[in-house]
Chains A and B, each alone.
Chain A
Amino acid sequence: MNIGLSLPDARARFPALVVAEAEPLEEAQLLTRLCDWCSRYTPLAALDGRDGLMLDISGVAHLFESEAALIEDCRARLASQGITVFIGAAGNPRAASALARFSQVKTAPEPLSDKVFVKLFHDLPLAALGLDEKTVADMARAGLRRIGDIALRPRSPITARFGFAPMARLDALKGLERSSIAPRFRPPDFCAERRFASPIQTVEAIEFQLRKLADNLVVLLERQAKGARRLELSLYRVDGEVRRIRIGASRPLNEARAIVRLIAGRLASPHEDAIDAGYGVDLMRLACLVAEPLAPSEAELERAHEAERALALAELLDCLSARLGARAVTRRELIDAHLPEQAEAAPSAMLGRARLRGEEPDKVVEAAPARPLRLFARPEPIEALAEVPDGPPLRFRWRRILHDVTAIEGPERIAAPWWRHADMPTRDYFRAEDSEGRRFWLYREGLWGRETMRPKWFVHGLFG
């Protein structure tokens, strides 16, 4: 049974034949998918006609110990996916294609001696040269059926009658002419990969491996003083699927952390191409598709300069802390608390530094209530005069000076957490501006009528 046999003939030979409609589109898709899958062996994987794949395994076979082991690995993995393949290996694409499709012997030794060439190829049909059907039929009519038939004849009559193709193909088969393949993907300039004996499935494990890949890739990039502009992470799943995540960077990246952060963001996102590890991933490859030299630009130098300054700052803080005490050199952190005096913490600058590094700048919430620049540790009592007991103050006396309120905002009611300070009165805060333009943060302690009959007034802070 061979390709080209008509259905009735085939049925006559095998009565139990299972017949399926040809679906060229899906077959092509399957082949493309297989081609992607095969890029686990080599980055140079190409489609070969409508029914074949061509892999350039030069310099790759040793990773699998030998060519034979590579072929066996490929055959076994594809068999587990339910795909039977014929694999040929030779020193050039034409010969490999011919062996895979037409020969019983599937591997040609390299280099190829004339004697072995005669033995391997002379008996193969001319179709093994990849000539079109018409040429093959024409040559068959002239009595030329096997490769040996034209290989032993003078070239010029054959070229004169059948064109340049047969002899050119023959040269290619012998490896006398350079032939190239058109890989589906441009081979990456730099790539790092990891294979796993047992497939990994969790996103955490994938991220962990990604970090190691990024470290390896950065080492490769650094050797040539380059940075990655476009990166691709390929995840080869056990079931033959290949998932790819591509990212771009606005400047050449050569820090593993930055690379991991960009890709991990995509791994975690609930995006449509988010990672579905399926039955597990047995090979991960991180490839740098586009690399650019890391020119020591002005900005680079400036960054280096700033890094030096950051070091100088650390030394300065150590020096100040040593003389003034660690408690005297602090940073400020915002705390999500309602009581104003609890809304910030002042950790020592030496403790806080590691935690604060790389943090996002504080976001200023537009609608956030105004807060003063300075806050008194102990709110200072004032005498305030209000129109009604629960209204805003009209004037107040603080530190023996009388202030007339000319503009005011409030009240902003802040109650202490009742589960902690059950008896702490509620505060009504006002932002008041006096006639000279000084702005104060005042509050009235106690809700009139409910918590107290004589609410007390305090100034808690000063605005600029």
Chain B
Amino acid sequence: MSPVGRAEGMARLRRVIARIEAESGPASERVVRRLPLVHAFDSALGGGLADDALHEIAPAKPQDGAAAMGFALALAAGFLNRRPASALFIGEGFAAEEWGALYGPGLVAHGLSLSRLVFVRAPDAALAFWAIEEALKCGAPAVVVGEIWSLKGYSLAASRRLLLAARKGKVPALLILASAYGQAERLSSAAETRFEIAAAPSARIPAAAGFDIPGPFACGARLIKSRLARAGPFVDADSPSKDGRSSKRPTDSPSEDGRPSGRPAVCDQRSRLQTHDVDRVIRLQWRSQDMTFKDMTFRDIGVDDQAISLPLAAASGDRSRAAARPRR
């Protein structure tokens, strides 16, 4: 079919859809495709990160900015993997000066394809928000990653604008609030989710002599906000018993290393969305080869942690979670 014929075909289909919508009202149901992360988050996210919403990422401490960016880039790689389109990185110039500019060879090693990335440097936060909004509205990118330093202009209204733009263009927005360390729980915005990211020791590779070799990207992630989940003590969706032992089951069995196996991508029953423990830190490892996160929360990672055996961690309930959280 010629390009002209194809365009005509598209136009015809659009007219048909417009006619159907005129008769029966517009499609009110929001159809969302979700990017699954790891099991521990997906249940609270309703299957994964929505591809038409605003997701905020904040570092836990001032020096965790690189970890937050690593997490955002990993999510961006996941979104890029799903659609043959480009990704836009829109950063406030000051962030790049403070923490270094994104570095091409490192991005490639992280699993991103440089030919599909566009980098935009905005002189201030206001222009960065404008650029992000424009990018979301046009619907062309597979994902837009924003990095904002100055939070003065970031209000409920500003975030609402971004959310609506994401809804309109059906493009996921990942917003890194680079200076929001320590405030992640106090911020109020229209974002659908908010993560707090802390640096975490990687899965090290033992060396013959001296220190171990650092492993691939890893971070500790807390899901502070999810519009779909109710905050509260963590109970696992698959085994809603009050027994503390069962809540540990899904993550420490080796068959479920972070993949949402056998569950629908979209959680259909609202009731299944269980309450979610905002204090729970999930340790994630990014595998750029197969574009997945691996949940390392209850795994032995470093030499130091080998003393904690899994049955003990599983039996001691809430206290084990506190132990698994990185020292902060």
Binding site for B on A (CB under 8 A): 222, 225, 254, 294, 296, 300-301, 304-306, 308-310, 312-313, 315-317, 319-320, 323-324, 328-334, 340, 343-344, 346, 349, 356, 359, 361-362, 364, 368, 370-377, 392, 399, 401, 405-409, 431-433, 435-439, 461-464
Contact = CB atoms under 8 A, between A and B. Distances in A.
Given A364-B111, A392-B210, A437 B106 contact: no
Given A438-B64, A462-B66, A313 B140 contact: yes
Interface stretch (B5-13, B31-39, B245-253, B262-270): B5-13
Given A301-B10, A324-B120, A306 B85 contact: yes
Given A320-B131, A362-B114, A375-B101, A334 B108 contact: yes
Between B105, B109, B130, B286, the greatest number of chain A beta carbons within 10 A of the residue's beta carbon is seen for: B105
Given A343-B105, A464-B70, A296 B115 contact: no
A361 B105 CA distance: 13
B204 interface: yes
A359 B127 CA distance: 31
A432 B108 CA distance: 20
Contact of B1 (A225, A432, A433, A461): A225
B115 A356 contact: yes
Contact of B138 (A313, A324, A431, A432): A313
B291 to A, nearest CB: 12
Given A296-B6, A409-B213, 14 more contacts: A301-B9, A309-B85, A316-B140, A320-B120, A320-B134, A331-B115, A331-B117, A334-B114, A340-B103, A362-B108, A392-B210, A406-B302, A436-B327, A437-B200
A333 B102 contact: no
Contacts of B198: 437
B25 interface: no
A422 to B, nearest CB: 26
Contact of A361 (B115, B202, B211, B219): B115
Contact of A438 (B110, B119, B199): B199
Nearest to A308: B10
Given A334-B114, A373-B73, A323 B127 contact: yes
A464 B66 contact: yes
Contacts of B84: 306
Between A370, A433, A435, A464, the greatest number of chain B beta carbons within 10 A of the residue's beta carbon is seen for: A464
B190 interface: no
Nearest to B70: A464
A362 to B, nearest CB: 5
Contacts of A306: 83-85
A359 B114 CA distance: 10
B138 A408 contact: no
A437 B201 contact: yes
Given A304-B7, A344-B103, A438 B66 contact: yes
B118 A374 contact: no
A319 B134 contact: yes
A437 B326 CA distance: 9
Given A316-B138, A407-B211, A374 B69 contact: yes
Nearest to B220: A437
B102 A374 contact: yes
A462 B121 CA distance: 19
Per CB-CB distance, the 6 closest pairs between chain A and chain B, nearest first, are A464-B70, A374-B100, A344-B104, A313-B140, A375-B103, A462-B66
Contacts of A375: 100-101, 103, 106
A333 B118 CA distance: 11
Given A313-B85, A324-B120, A300 B106 contact: no
A111 B107 CA distance: 76
A372 B199 CA distance: 15
B139 interface: yes
Contact of B66 (A308, A332, A374, A401): A374
Contacts of B201: 406-407, 433, 435-437
Contact of A294 (B1, B73, B108, B139): B1
Contacts of A463: 66, 70, 106, 214, 217
A340 B109 CA distance: 14
Given A371-B106, A373-B110, A438-B199, A392 B63 contact: no
B67 interface: yes
A346 B117 CA distance: 11
Between A343, A370, A372, A405, the greatest number of chain B beta carbons within 10 A of the residue's beta carbon is seen for: A372
B66 A373 contact: yes
Between B1, B138, B217, the greatest number of chain A beta carbons within 10 A of the residue's beta carbon is seen for: B1
Interface in B52-102: 63-67, 69-71, 73-74, 83-86, 97, 99-102
Contacts of A371: 103, 105-106, 108-109
